[in-house]
């Protein structure tokens, strides 16, 4: 059996004549951090709590307007709340406190995402605009300078293009339909990734170690490839040349384990838990130079979650990094 406090999530206060508290539930007592005996029987403005003072003002407003009114507020250490009040007569009414902390976090995350994306896009736009103005204002630039400028403009256009592509991929992943999932062999996806990686990082070597002939999963092969490629590319990017990347693939029971191990620069422990966040980079300047904006690993994590799997990372500075993926094999037998 659940306790009553679990069933009624809203904080509820029943207010009697003269704005006296007649009753409050467990949730209200918890949100306000007030023991019931300090509140019941006392007038809202006689209790030392700013939320209750605001509740009284809201009740008065509700009485004036003849309908329920609400406002949002924060309670220190508790989060964000919607305070709703409805007054009937001479202070009598009801006050409800709804916890809106989760909703607020989603809104804040959305705002941060837009701010980060805009910032990342603005930088190359500013650079391209500056060079375009130079081309417009300075006649007779030498052939070498012209070439240098156009190269930089093209590089920054590519940077924007990559960023927009990554953002669209993230949006696409959110709405991935189940119809795109099909049987795919992880070993052949890894092989495709190796072919894609070779021309970009000719000195990097991908060494696959497995006892499996195949490793079948129910997934969208393109997004699985995207996730694995991101991990291989990072392993190559963040290693001294020639990068050696070891890939272990193992089927154990109902799970597929993939470990991607490099001998690169490593990741400091304080960065480890943040590297999967959107736009998080350990060294912004270095990532930009290498053509990244901190989106790659957030795409990887989203893909892994979509496949009901998990991803963890372990690393030692100067020694290397290993990403461990665990993906359920479920669903394959239904083909």
**For the residues of 170-190, what is the DSSP string, one character each?**
HHHHHT--GGG-EEEEHHHHH
Q: Which stretch binds ligand ADP (CB under 6 A): 12-20, 30-38, 204-212, 275-283?
A: 275-283
Residue 14: DSSP 8-state = E
User: Residues 30, 11: contact at Cβ < 8 Å?
Assistant: yes
SS3 at position 111:
helix
Angstrom distance (rounded) from CA 305 to CA 26: 36
Tell me if 320 sits within 8 A of 246, measured CB to CB: no
What minimum distance in Å lies between the beta carbon of 333 and ligand ADP? 34
Which tokens hold the place of 39?
A: 């509140």
Instruction: State yes or no: residue 262 binds ligand ADP (CB under 6 A).
Output: yes
The yes or no reply on residue 91 touching ligand ADP (CB under 6 A) is no
Region near ligand ADP per CB under 6 A, out of 19-27, 59-67, 195-203, 274-282: 274-282
What size, in residues, is the chain? 335
Binding of ligand ADP at residue 281 (CB under 6 A)? yes
Identity of the residue, 71 or 162, whose beta carbon is nearer to ligand ADP in the bound complex: 162
CB of 257 to ligand ADP, least distance (A): 18
Asked if 321 touches ligand ADP (CB under 6 A), the answer is: yes
Task: Decide if 225 contacts 183 (C-beta within 8 A).
Answer: no
Q: Which of 11, 93, 124, 294: binder of ligand ADP (CB under 6 A)?
A: 294
- Per-position x/- string for 191-210, each x denoting binding to ligand ADP as judged by CB under 6 A, each - no binding: --------------------
Q: How many residues bind ligand ADP (CB under 6 A)?
A: 20
Measured between alpha carbons, how far is residue 309 from residues 59, 60, 86, 284, 332 in Å? 50, 53, 47, 29, 15
Strands of the sheet with 11-16, listed across from one edge: 20-24, 11-16, 92-99, 79-89, 69-75
Nearest residue (beta carbon) to ligand ADP: 292
Q: Which CB atom, from 62 or from 287, has the smaller least distance to ligand ADP?
A: 287
Among 264, 309, 311, 327, binds ligand ADP (CB under 6 A): 264
Shortest separation between residue 267's beta carbon and ligand ADP, angstroms? 5
Q: Whose Cβ is closer to ligand ADP: residue 29's or residue 275's?
A: 275
Conformational region of residue 221, where left means phi above 0, alpha means psi within -120 to 50, and beta covers everything else: alpha
Of residues 153 and 267, the one with the C-beta less far from ligand ADP: 267
Tell me if 265 contacts ligand ADP by CB under 6 A.
yes
Alpha-carbon span 150 to 136, nearest angstrom: 13
Q: Is 69 in the site for ligand ADP (CB under 6 A)?
A: no
Using omega within 30 degrees of 0 as the cis cutoff, is the peptide bond preceding 67 cis?
A: no
Q: How far is the CB of 225 from ligand ADP (least distance, A)?
A: 16
| Residue 296 interacts with ligand ADP (CB under 6 A): yes or no | yes
Strand 92-99 to 79-89 pairing = antiparallel
Task: Report the nearest approach of ligand ADP to the CB of residue 88 (Å).
Answer: 56
For 281, the token pair is 């980079």
Shortest Cβ distance from residue 321 to ligand ADP (Å)? 4
62 near 71, Cβ under 8 Å?
A: no
Burial classification of residue 241, based on how many CB atoms lie within 10 Å of its CB (0-12 exposed, 13-18 middle, 19 or more buried): exposed
The residues of the shown chain that bind ligand ADP, judged by CB under 6 A, are: 234-235, 238, 262, 264-265, 267, 275, 280-282, 287, 292-298, 321
């Amino acid at each position: 059996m659940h306790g009553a406090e679990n069933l009624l999530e809203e904080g509820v206060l029943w207010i009697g004549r003269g704005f006296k508290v007649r009753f409050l539930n467990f949730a209200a007592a918890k949100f306000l951090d007030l023991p019931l005996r300090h509140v019941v029987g006392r007038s809202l403005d006689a209790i030392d709590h700013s939320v209750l003072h605001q509740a009284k003002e809201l009740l008065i407003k509700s009485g004036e307007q003849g309908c329920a009114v609400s406002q949002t507020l924060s309670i220190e250490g508790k989060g964000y709340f919607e305070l709703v009040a409805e007054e009937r007569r001479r202070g009598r009414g009801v006050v409800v406190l709804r916890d809106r902390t989760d909703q607020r976090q989603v809104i804040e995350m959305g705002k941060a995402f837009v701010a980060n994306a805009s910032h990342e896009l603005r930088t190359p736009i500013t650079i391209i605009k500056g060079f375009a103005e130079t081309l417009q204002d300075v006649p007779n630039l030498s052939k070498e300078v012209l070439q240098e400028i156009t190269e930089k403009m093209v590089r920054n256009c590519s940077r924007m293009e990559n960023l927009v592509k990554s953002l669209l991929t993230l949006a696409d992943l959110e709405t991935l339909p189940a119809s795109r999932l099909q049987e795919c062999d992880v070993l052949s996806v890894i092989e495709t990734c190796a072919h894609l990686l070779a021309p970009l990082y000719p000195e990097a070597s991908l060494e696959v170690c497995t006892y499996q002939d195949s490793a079948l999963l129910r997934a969208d092969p393109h997004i699985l490839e995207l996730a694995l490629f991101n991990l291989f590319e990072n392993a190559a990017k963040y290693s001294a040349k020639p990068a050696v990347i070891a890939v272990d693939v193992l089927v154990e029971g109902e799970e597929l384990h993939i470990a991607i191990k490099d001998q690169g620069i490593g990741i400091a422990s304080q960065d480890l838990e943040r590297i999967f966040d959107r736009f998080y980079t350990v060294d912004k300047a270095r990532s930009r130079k290498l053509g990244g904006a901190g989106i790659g690993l957030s795409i990887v994590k989203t893909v892994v979650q979509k496949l009901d799997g998990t991803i963890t990372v372990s690393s030692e500075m100067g020694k290397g990094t290993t990403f461990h993926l665990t993906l359920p094999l479920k669903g394959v037998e239904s083909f």
